[in-house]
Amino acid sequence: MSDQRPVITQATKVALAKPKSDYKPAHVSPSKRAGRRYTIRLWSVRHARSLEWFYARFADLFLMLHPLWKAVGYSRAEAPVKFVERRVKGLMFDCRMCGQCVLSSTGMSCPMNCPKQLRNGPCGGVRANGNCEVEPDMPCVWVQAWAGSQRMRNHDAILTVQKPVDQSLRETSAWLRVTAAAAAGRAKSDEAAR
């Protein structure tokens, strides 16, 4: 007769060795506690359409301020703008300051929160409940990205293939980079029109 005893893995041994506690915070289930970490991020995805509108106005305003950024110097403006960008986008999108923002293509769901940092759609491991394979309590950022993008005016932008992340741009301001690129594009078309 073969030995049918279950195999005890290292993970099970660690779980069994953990000190037991009767402490349970009142009125908050473990899944609710885990879910709270993503509340604002998920709110942003649900409001992707209005945030898309707001972002477009915000980008216009930043472009209008191009003479100011130029006068101050883009490199000198970097530190204060980055300070604000990190806090605002950190709160709303759990931004990781990759410096090459794609939120307007990804339904306001930041792909840098994917543990595999995939920039072009989910891996094959999305759970049946739409959560991440690596972090089971976290909604897959790409499932959220698809949902958010379908709410946006420019909902096909998610189909654009993104370039690999340029690590040299980490910890830089995407707001200023986009503004400088838009200002250069505008100057070029003004020149061509003359």
Residues of this chain that bind ligand SF4 (CB under 6 A): 89, 93, 95-98, 101-103, 110, 112, 174
Comparison of 135 and 188: residue with beta carbon closer to ligand SF4: 135
Measured from the CB of residue 129, what is the shortest distance to ligand SF4 in angstroms?
A: 24
- Please report, for residues 38, 60, 66, 136, the alpha-carbon distance to residue 176 in angstroms, rounded to integers and kept in the order given: 27, 12, 9, 35
Shortest distance in whole angstroms from residue 102 CB to ligand SF4? 5
**Cα 79 from Cα 76, distance rounded (Å):** 7
Distance CA 8, CA 105 (A): 45
**Closer by beta carbon to ligand SF4, 69 or else 93:** 93
Shorter beta-carbon distance to ligand SF4: residue 102 or 138: 102
Handedness of CA 22, 26, 29, 33 (dihedral sign): negative
Query: Would you say 15 or 79 has its CB closer to ligand SF4?
Result: 79
Helix (H, G, I), strand (E, B) or coil at 161: coil
Minimum distance from CB of 2 to ligand SF4 (Å)?
52
* Range 57-61 contact pairs with CB under 8 angstroms and sequence separation of 24 or more: 59/178, 59/179, 59/182
